[in-house]
Structure 1
Amino acid sequence: MLQRVQTIYLLIALVITGVLPFVFPLWTTSDEKDFFFMFDIKYVTAFGLSTTLSLLSIISYKKRQNQFVIGRLNIILNLILLGLFVYRSLNLSGETVTVSEKGIGMFLPIVAIVFLVLANKAIKKDEDLVKSVDRLR
């Protein structure tokens, strides 16, 4: 059923990882050019996989256990992406030649993780409800 609350959370996570990286830059270079994620293959792959996993999780709404596992994989992928951002920002910290200001795009994986955790909580709640109803039969 697509009208469940976890579907809304997963749609929000899909928008965060699929649309917002095109809007918000990861950082701004010293010559006032915005650096978006599509200039580096690591970020393109990670954001693309995260978006695909969110979509796959939405589509597999009949199999709650698979949906839960896909959500966990997506959380791990977003943690890896966040680790890449932290590593990159620590290597390029301060006023170096190439980077002068970090952008809000670096926080997108954190927001996506929050919504994925909320979706997994709702999926777990649905699974527990179905199990409790099966015990009554």
Structure 2
Amino acid sequence: MIQRIQSVFLLLVAITMFSLPFLTIWVQVNPSQTEQLKFNPWALVKTSINSGQIIEHNNNYLIGILAVVAGFIALYSLLQFKNRTRQMLLNMINSLVMGVALGASVFITYKANETFNPNATGAYIIGFYAIIFALIMNMLANRFIRKDEMLVRSVDRIR
């Protein structure tokens, strides 16, 4: 099953998307260095830097759910190695799911930054770049699947 390079790429997509719910996507600190705003795939949390207490907690499950769904789609696509056209379709759907997750995270961080500290921008950290990494790996997997499909069709044409 993990014999071709596209299988490795799909496995990397699944691992990355299943690890995303445990990573932080964005962090912003206010100018007085007393409060911090963190965005992870499950919530937007405002904490006090000095005491570490949570000041405000807004649940937002969208990114976490999309990450888990994208991980399962990547695993299912990995198991569909005998049907390359279905695998390409699943990867396109997965790209759409990950793109929505990326767009939603940018939108949520933009709105949070607007209310928390509009003069400075927050820092995107590992969770944000994990989504981009998974999108690139998914694109590469789709490219190699398409390449294999074209090779099989050209061999069938010769017969």
Q: Which TM-score bucket, shorter chain as reference?
A: 0.7 to 0.9
2:64 to 27, 44, 47: 44
Between structure 1 and structure 2, the one with the greater Rg is 2
From the superposition, tell whether residues 64 and 75 of structure 1 become closer, same or farther in structure 2 (CA, over 3 Å).
same
Greater relative CO, 1 or 2 (CA 8 Å, sep 6+) = 1
Percent of aligned positions that are identical: 28
Q: What TM-score do you get using the length of structure 1 for normalisation?
A: 0.86
Q: Secondary structure at the match of 2:130?
A: helix
* Cα separation, 2, equivalents of 1:69 and 1:6: 14
Q: Which runs of 5+ in 1 are unaligned?
A: none
**Structure 1 letter corresponding to 2:5:** V
CA shift at 1:33, angstroms? 7.0
* Cα separation, 2, equivalents of 1:29 and 1:90: 11
RMSD: 2.2
Structure with bigger helix share is 1
Structure with bigger strand share is 2
Q: Which runs of 5+ in 2 are unaligned?
A: 30-34, 44-59
Aligned to 2:27: 28
1:107 to 118, 129, 133: 129
How many residues align structurally? 135
Alignment deviations for residues 80-99 of structure 1 (CA, whole Å, 9 cap, x no partner): 111101111211226817x9
Alignment deviations for residues 44-100 of structure 1 (CA, whole Å, 9 cap, x no partner): 210011001100100111000000000000111111111101111211226817x96
Q: What TM-score do you get using the length of structure 2 for normalisation?
A: 0.75
